[in-house]
Structures are given as structure tokens and as C-alpha cells.
A and B are shown apart, each in its own frame.
Chain A
Amino acid sequence: SQQGEEDPQALSIQEGENATMNCSYKTSINNLQWYRQNSGRGLVHLILIRSNEREKHSGRLRVTLDTSKKSSSLLITASRAADTASYFCATDGTSGSRLTFGEGTQLTVNP
């Protein structure tokens, strides 16, 4: 079964607005990763946050992690049309087992 579940399933915003996507997971983790997938392409890694971290930034991306709630959020600030893609969270589990992906959030940024 999928370890991570993203919320919402789809999000449509205007260029310049912020986009927030959430991920919940079920078991303890070593780290949580976020990926982007453009239509017809493979997934591209965005950011990794370790279980002992609470927040991480990379450019216009901000990721938070709350291990007590088993949840994470990805914030994209000042969105652009080029940010239109599906976004997935992925978790590894403390046993170092395989990386499993959520079902993804489809983000559409309208110009």
C-alpha cells in the first residue's frame, strides 16, 4: 500500500500565488522526499528532509515535517506557469526499506 498520501489531489492557482501541498504517511521514517513530474517525463527530485529536521528551504520551495503528526507540506511561493506538474512525496521507512510514493498532487498554475 502507498506510504504517503497527498492532499489535495488537484490544485489550480494563478501565477504569482503560493501553492501548498500536504503529505501524510503511516509509519516512522528516516527521511521524506518531494519530487516533481512533468507530463510525459520522469520524476525529478526537489528536496529531502530528514526526520530530525522540521523545515527546509530551497529557492522558492519550503518543506515542513511534523513527525508527531506524520505529515509534511510543500510550499511553492510566487508560483509560475512552469511549476505546473504533479508533485509526489516519498518516504523510506526506518528500516531503510524501499522508497514508496504517494498518489501525487496535480498542480496547475494559470498564467
Chain B
Amino acid sequence: DAGVIQSPRHEVTEMGQEVTLRCKPISGHDYLFWYRQTMMRGLELLIYFNNNVPIDDSGMPEDRFSAKMPNASFSTLKIQPSEPRDSAVYFCASSSLQGNSPLHFGNGTRLTVT
């Protein structure tokens, strides 16, 4: 089991550029979550999917953020255009059953927007 795989590990971009973060969940997991971690706000849930369908995107900060899950083995989080306040570590996590089973986290993407 390779675990949850995220890419890239680090991303540095200039304000206004488009950023795409990628995630491969653990095979067989039905739920996929995107979290953002900052010193100021801690871990925030941005959006989660069940069987590739977005269930709750109320944590997405604004329309500049979008997430897709075209199939069970791949998800993207896109920021367009990026802003310095988007700088954070973005985590993807997957689980087999929401709420009653552990989340398995990737090692995150550290995004820096200058």
C-alpha cells in the first residue's frame, strides 16, 4: 500500500498564476478530503468527495478554488488566480468510511505564492 500520494511536494508561484495540486488516494477508499493547514487557522476542511462526487464544498474559501475528482484514483485542487494569502500546506486524505474510520493523509503540498 503506497498510501496517499500528493504532488508536487513544494510549489512556489507568483501571484496571479494558476496552481494545480494533485492527489492519488488509497485504492478502495470511497472518501477523499482536501484540507489546508496554516499557523493562523490550523487544519481547515476545504471539500470532500464520496465516490467521486463532491459532497460538501462549504470550506472552499472562494470561487478561485475548485476541485475535481474525475475518477476514483485521482483528484485535483486548482487555485486560479493564486494570491499570497493562499500560501499554506494543502493535504489530501482518504478513508473507507467517513467519520467512523481513520483518515489517511498524504505528505502535503507546501504552496508559496509570492
A residues contacting B by CB (< 8 A) are: 2, 30-31, 33, 35, 40-45, 48, 88, 90, 92-93, 96-104
Contact = CB atoms under 8 A, between A and B. Distances in A.
A90 B35 CA distance: 13
A103 B42 CA distance: 6
Interface of A is mostly: loop
Given A2-B42, A98-B45, A45 B100 contact: no
Interface size band for B = 20 to 34
Nearest to B91: A42
B29 to A, nearest CB: 13
Contacts of B43: 43, 88, 101
Given A31-B100, A42-B4, A98 B106 contact: no
Contacts of B4: 42
Given A42-B91, A96-B98, A96-B99, A101 B42 contact: yes
